[in-house]
Amino acid sequence: MTKPNNIEVLRESADLATALMKVLANPDRLLLLCQLSQGEKSVGELAVLTGIQQPTLSQQLTVLREKKVVETRRKGKNIYYSVSSKAALAIINVLAEQLCKLNQ
């Protein structure tokens, strides 16, 4: 077995980064992740905080869950979401710092 050269490692990293950026490239998913970067939220809380309608909210949360960007926890009838991807959280934090003007 041969050791991968640097370009193979870089290509794999580029592929992973591209896949994550494709997930983040949707405004609704980005808005959801901005809210979740502040801590765990229920589906109901996310709907109120983002204004995203239920069918779209469910669809976008499913994408984030399938891509392993968020994880869920069930408590009774409620499902709570939190960010599980350290890379996604780091990107969200940089975007918030650079682009969000809410606290200025």
Residue 103 has pLDDT above 70, yes or no: no
Residue 104 confidence (pLDDT) = 47
**Topology (CATH) of 27-98:** Arc Repressor Mutant, subunit A (1.10.10)
Question: Cβ-count burial of 77 within 10 angstroms (0-12 exposed, 13-18 middle, 19+ buried)?
Answer: exposed
Mean pLDDT, the chain, whole residue set? 90
Alpha-carbon dihedral 70, 60, 90, 8, rounded to 10 degrees: 90
Residue 68 has pLDDT above 70, yes or no: yes
d(CA 75, CA 73): 7
Closest CA to 40 of 80, 79, 70, 76: 80
Task: Average the pLDDT over 1-17 and give the result.
Answer: 81
Side chain identity, residue 34: C
With a pLDDT cut of 70, the percent of the chain lying above it is: 91
- Domain ranges in the chain are 27-98
Band (pLDDT 50/70/90 cuts) for residue 5 is confident
Residue 86 confidence (pLDDT) = 95
